Amino acid sequence: MRVAIYGRKFNDSAIQHVQQLIDSFLAHEVEITIYAAFHAYLIPRIQLPDSVKLFTQHQDLLNQVDCLVSIGGDGTMLDTLTLVRDSGIPVIGINMGRLGFLASIAKTEIATAVDSLVKGHFTIDKRSLIKLESNIELFNGLNYGLNDLTIHKKDTSSMIIIHTYLNGEFLNTFWSDGLILSTPTGSTGYSLSCNGPVVFPESESFVITPIAPHNLNIRPIVIPNNNVISFEVEGRMDDFICTLDSRKEVVSKDVQLAVRKEAFSFNLVRLNENNFLRTLREKLTWGFDTRNRRS
């Protein structure tokens, strides 16, 4: 088996777990490739075999690895989308951060996770993506996201006005700080914190959630993801902020934006004992009530 490892700098207290991950893969005779910048960070901190290979971009992974391992938090997992792109390479996340909703494998489960991965005891969750289309190139051509797209006012400027259309038909005008268009995966992220609904990952839908709307009767809405959603932005400022997951662009309000479902998906590795409902209960304490305690 061949695996690639991607990560960022993090607290040195977690370094021992990276060493455990490397040692576990070597014990199973797995071929290891590490992201070059992460490898440079690890060199003075852990013991790495001479056989380790390096990669710097997504072309280095094509037909070269069977799986990409993300070490960090959910933000690190989102980074991996720009590395695997449309290759279909499955991604598994080892959580070194806090919540770990996407990176769901705990540090204490590393040995078990590696064993399951090598033996093929896992499930692939195909997560839908959003694709941003615009009349100018944005995000260096990496115009897709796993979690969400947001349109947001700049800094402390006044609210913006976002005219929103579904397949060319007027939906609504949002007077707000911004708007979130999330996938089912992203429904438990920024959208949730703005009172958006939780949507199951396999749902064929998008969620449109306003950010601090200046209207009492505006609520989030769930729509089928076979719609094309387009936006026209007005405001006192000449530009606004547009984000795709953790990437950001400052965009002129004259730029035309539309979003649709991306043709390819993100392949998330899920160990068989984990599922979405368990994650909701354990990570977000959904439904927590002391009366539900079982003896």
Q: Are 183 and 203 in contact (CB under 8 A)?
A: no
Catalytic residue among 23, 50, 60, 74: 74
**How many other CB atoms sit within 10 Å of the CB of residue 147?**
28
CA 238 to chain centre: 29
Question: Crossing angle of helices 110-119/15-27, nearest 10°?
Answer: 30
74 has catalytic annotation = yes
Q: Do residues 161 and 173 make contact, with C-beta atoms less than 8 angstroms apart? A: yes
Work out the angle at residue 85's Cα, subtended by the Cα atoms of residues 12 and 17, and round it to the nearest 5 degrees. 20
What CA–CA distances, in Å, run from 44 to 41, 47, 69, 194, 285? Answer: 7, 8, 21, 42, 39
Q: Which amino acid is at 187?
A: S
Q: Please name the residues in contact with 17: beta carbons below 8 A apart, sequence gap of 6 or more.
A: 94, 96, 107, 110
The residues annotated as belonging to the active site are 74
